[in-house]
Structure 1
Amino acid sequence: MFIVKGISGTPVKAAKIANAVANSFQKNIPEIMSFSRTKIISPAKATVQRSGMSTQTIIAIGTIVGLISAVIIAFMWEIRLAIQNS
């Protein structure tokens, strides 16, 4: 089984690229490999939904990680100053 993914600036163009590659593979596979039966299970479709995390989630995670990092750095800085003063 092969999975073909198309990457482009727009989802419609990416789907066209993936379908073109899959169709070309299906036509040319008998010349390349020893089997000739291939079947495209489902053609690529352009999605309108973004994949991955939302921008708000990424910002929230970045803020939390930044705050935790700042507290750790401040704590380590205070320990360093305490050691230097003693």
Structure 2
Amino acid sequence: MSYEETTIPQSDSPAGRCEYCGHPFPTTGRLVLHKGLEHPQQLDDDEEEAFRSARADEEDELRTLRLKALGALVLLYFGFLMLYAIFA
């Protein structure tokens, strides 16, 4: 995977830079995920465990986001259904 030129605003400093490809990342979590996905052969045991933990955390966040989106869609659907039942 090739990366386009990435810039981070001067007011912010990158949380880390990949030692394998030099790509900057705004958070250490993103750096850990990048290393695990793009450079899995070069990881030591600690880095591999950090990747697994970061990936599990991200999967939990995605699951929460999906549930919230589903809840919003259900509320919207039933809201429109009620409006239709009242005004139609």
TM-score by length of 2: 0.42
Find the structure with the greater CA-based Rg.
1
By percentage of residues, which structure has more strand? 2
